[in-house]
Amino acid sequence: MRQLPSTGLPDRRGRELRDLRISVTDRCNFRCVYCMPKEIFGRDYAFFERDELLSFDEIVRLARVASGLGVRKLRLTGGEPLLRRGIEELISELAALRTPAGDPLDLALTTNGSALPVKAAALKAAGLRRVTVSLDSLDDDRFQAINDVRFPVSRVLDGIAAAAEAGLGPVKINTVLKRGANDDEILALAEHFRGTGHALRFIEYMDVGATNGWVLDEVVPSAEVVRRIAAVHPLEPLEPSAPGETARRWRYRDGAGEIGVISSVTEAFCGSCTRARVSADGRLYTCLFASEGHDLRALLRGGAGDEELADALAGVWRERDDRYSELRSAERSEIRPLGTPRRRIEMSYIGG
Ligand code: SAM
Ligand code: SF4
Ligand code: SF4
């Protein structure tokens, strides 16, 4: 077989393919109001059938080919990835993959945390390195209203503790802030996780999908988050730990740990976006805001060899010119979603 290039696959803007996010299911046990609102994701919603999802063999093959093209980081997501039956088995197969230089891939997973109390140890044993847990509020009533399935916040906090105990740390906690919904908890969240060794990251609410009715007024700018925390607990900036890192990191001056802010709206980071995404049904997306994906499942099931698969992946990446968030802020004096009439993919489909 022809030797695949080990690194250095630039797109049209010189950004190399480095990270692959793989959605393993479109289903979720939560109905977060901004992600899978019940009115749309109700009883009649047509989730994928089992045979529509990429199989574990297909996912592993894709990841192997992608690592040959320069991918060094894999993140499993969903929907809720821990709902996919046998996820530990998939993780152990992905953990066994090696880059052309012989290194393991950096393997992580994003979860709502609900299954971590039960699954954390098995995930670690299977070879998972780290988890990111989404948590938008510490207030139980509010948390239950956001997930809209009455899931108690204490169970997610137990999940975070279980992950840390299992060695899946440092655990990252992702909080999406929405003005008027949870921005009054910025300080409480920061103080809850100060000194725990977990890294809390605040994410600006984005105009992804077509079901959440995004308006700019609901975005809490990262600069405000940093200002509000630093007013009580002084902060200093940290250098990025990896190129292309989406979070800007800040350290508490008193040594109590760090926080991160992800400014997807107010400070677009398209210039360093090295991430491709694969949906649960095997479509490749080169941007969170893309409306069309490339059907890799058809190739996988149509008898394509590794070389053909690599050529297809590389071909799509080389042609990539995406920079939605940059355009959103550059082309409007006032930031608002671009191209609203276009069909948008949902976060629960592509996994963030
Ligand atoms: N179910 C898992 C979870 O909640 O972590 C993984 C998938 S979920 C779609 C991934 C992340 O996307 C979550 O942290 C969620 O808060 C975030 N998300 C969903 N809609 C968003 C939006 N409009 N803006 C910013 N983040 C969003
Ligand atoms: Fe499910 Fe995650 Fe979306 Fe919430 S954010 S509905 S947990 S996929
Ligand atoms: Fe990457 Fe698209 Fe987000 Fe820009 S808008 S950072 S290109 S995913």
Name which residue sits closest to atom 8 of ligand 2, judged by CA: 79
Least confident of 192-196, 231-235, 240-244, 298-302: 240-244
* Residue range 14-48, pLDDT digits in tens: 999 999 999 999 999 999 999 999 999 999 999 99
What predicted TM-score, i.e. pTM, was given to this entire model? 0.93
The answer on pLDDT for 57 being more than 70 is yes
Quote the ligand 1 centre to 137 CA distance (angstroms): 14
DSSP structure string for 147-166: HSS---HHHHHHHHHHHHHH
Tokens of 305: 């060899």
Quote the ligand 1 centre to 172 CA distance (angstroms): 13
User: Cβ(112) to ligand 1 under 6 A?
Assistant: yes
Q: Is residue 161 part of a domain?
A: yes
Q: Is residue 104 part of a domain?
A: yes
Average pLDDT, integer, range 141-145: 98
**Predicted local confidence at residue 5, as pLDDT:** 43
CA distances in angstroms from 84 to 29, 55, 244, listed in the order given: 11, 11, 29
- State the residue range of the domain holding 228: 19-350
Q: Is residue 4 part of a domain?
A: no
Q: Is residue 3 part of a domain?
A: no
Quote the ligand 1 centre to 133 CA distance (angstroms): 10
The answer on pLDDT for 333 being more than 70 is no
**Residues 6+ away with beta carbon under 8 Å from 43:** none
**Predicted local confidence at residue 89, as pLDDT:** 98
Site to substitute for ligand 3 among 206, 270, 284, most atoms within 8 A of C-beta: 270
Question: Three-state SS for 296?
Answer: helix
Name which residue sits closest to atom 8 of ligand 3, judged by CA: 287
Portion of the chain with pLDDT greater than 90, in percent: 82
For residues 74 and 20, give the distance between their C-alpha atoms in angstroms, rounded to a whole number.
Answer: 5
The answer on pLDDT for 92 being more than 80 is yes
The answer on pLDDT for 284 being more than 90 is yes
Quote the ligand 3 centre to 214 CA distance (angstroms): 17
Average pLDDT value over all residues in the chain: 92
Residues within a 6 A CB radius of ligand 2: 28, 30-32, 35-36, 78-80, 112, 134, 348
The answer on pLDDT for 152 being more than 90 is yes
| Confidence band, pLDDT 50/70/90 cuts, at residue 340 | very low
* Residue range 253-282, pLDDT digits in tens: 999 999 999 998 998 889 999 999 999 999
Q: Is residue 48 part of a domain?
A: yes
Question: Which residue, 53, 51, 42, is CA-closest to 81?
Answer: 53
User: Cβ(273) to ligand 3 under 6 A?
Assistant: yes
Q: Is residue 8 part of a domain?
A: no
Site to substitute for ligand 2 among 27, 36, 84, most atoms within 8 A of C-beta: 36
Q: Is residue 291 part of a domain?
A: yes
Quote the ligand 3 centre to 241 CA distance (angstroms): 20
Question: Three-state SS for 50?
Answer: helix
Name which residue sits closest to atom 2 of ligand 1, judged by CA: 111
H-type alpha helices, the chain = 56-68, 87-95, 116-126, 140-147, 153-166, 186-193, 222-230, 296-301, 306-318, 324-330, 347-350
The answer on pLDDT for 6 being more than 60 is no
Ligand 1 closest atom vs CA 30: 1
* Residue range 186-233, pLDDT digits in tens: 999 999 999 999 999 999 998 876 666 778 889 999 999 999 999 999
| Confidence band, pLDDT 50/70/90 cuts, at residue 332 | low
CATH code (residue 186): 3.20.20.70
The answer on pLDDT for 243 being more than 90 is no
Q: Determine which helix (DSSP H) or strand (DSSP E) holds 69, and give its type and residue range.
A: none
For residues 166 and 219, give the distance between their C-alpha atoms in angstroms, rounded to a whole number.
Answer: 35
* Total domain count, the chain: 1
Q: Is residue 271 part of a domain?
A: yes
Average pLDDT, integer, range 9-18: 96
